[in-house]
Structure 1
């Protein structure tokens, strides 16, 4: 275990931001990986509280594609994963979500009919 914890803040203006908690006064070494490539430009700055640091990394435009893109956050010293963030985008995703919602609605209708039928049955039948 690396002894580093991460609390993601979100994505703002094309940059992922998070807060890192680590032991000591030295900024932790944090790396962001996407598709087995390390992203450059990660900034680690003190947050004003002892043992807490603000992390910020630009998300390169070439990493943004249709579908689900997962970025791994790791401790640069131990290579242990301390977190991740995901970006979901594109038209294929919209179609997938619509199809899933359609299936969920159909299943819910089946369950409602079965429940109503069960409630309408007389006891002992």
Structure 2
């Protein structure tokens, strides 16, 4: 089992796809990492040798922010926006779409389940 940056890479997938399971590494970054390490993207994660895994680890640790560090940067950026009271920060605070999407319809992912208004019964 290959473990890089605290993530177990899927065994049966190609290394190019397996690297994308690490938060902060996408397809382009995975390609750059593999060319730097002189590895074929078609190798399966289970077929990697220890030397290849260690070279991948060093490249990723030196060149990329991944997993916990990157998540911390994201959360600090959002926290900063909310503290300074920017438009994006206010949208984050009330759980609305931040980047100008429409909210009259759609936006259910961000707004949550539909809250229907309940009419009050007249008391006797």
**Is the TM value for this pair above 0.5?**
no
TM-score when scaled to structure 2? 0.31
Structure richer in strand, relative to its length: 1
Query: Whose relative contact order is higher, 1 or 2, with alpha carbons under 8 Å and at least 6 apart?
Result: 1
